[in-house]
Amino acid sequence: MLTKDTASGFAPFKPKLRSSKKAQAMTQPILMYWLQALFLTLTTTSAIAADLDPLSELDDTVQQGQHYLAAEQWGDDHQLRVLQSGTQQHALILQKGRSDQAQIEQYGQQNQIKLSQDGVENLILALQSGAGNQINSVQRGGFNQSEITQQGDNNLAGIDQVGSFNTAFIEQIGSGLESHVSQFGDSLSVSVRQFN
């Protein structure tokens, strides 16, 4: 029975507490969703700038196994997609400026990627498959593109781009391969393929 509050003239709100199985079934998926989102946030961002919201900045992050991912984004409209599968993959990403994009895929074990983007609409694509591979890539300027693919073990690849509208491609298939590309200027293009 509802009684009116004499001060306001409205009946006080008394929510009905449901203990039925139907009510529990309705709330359980919502609770599981938030717990999974919290777990994903805690496990996929081992280190991230304290003033950033990882769910709004990291577009897509998937980790299967025990890995390390540190991502820091400053500026607007950056996109970052990371997939880590296998064991002990490491990825360090810094994006500054506006509308930079990075897509990383790591398969195997103990592969390392260090990426730094500072500018406008730079793009990095990196794929590692194997063990002990390393990628280092730096982009400064605008509209630069780099793509690095490593298949095998203990390969080292690096791309430094300073300027605008530069493109660089490195493909390594084998083991113990090493390549480093430096581009300083505008509209430069290079392609490196290594096999053994």
pLDDT for position 166: 97
How far apart, in whole angstroms, are the C-alpha atoms of residue 187 and residue 185? 7
- Answer for the pair 141, 121: CB distance below 8 angstroms, yes or no: no
pLDDT for position 141: 97
pLDDT higher than threshold 90 for residue 106? yes
Tokens representing residue 196 in the block: 């053994």
Tokens representing residue 120 in the block: 């406008």
Which amino acid belongs to residue 144?
Answer: N
Give the residue extent of every domain in the chain.
Answer: 21-195
How far apart, in whole angstroms, are the C-alpha atoms of residue 78 and residue 74? 8
pLDDT higher than threshold 70 for residue 48? no
Q: Model confidence at 68, in pLDDT bands (50, 70, 90)?
A: confident
- Answer for the pair 69, 40: CB distance below 8 angstroms, yes or no: no
- pTM for the complete prediction? 0.69
Which amino acid belongs to residue 145?
Answer: Q
pLDDT higher than threshold 60 for residue 57? no
pLDDT for position 66: 76
Centroid of chain to Cα 157? 20
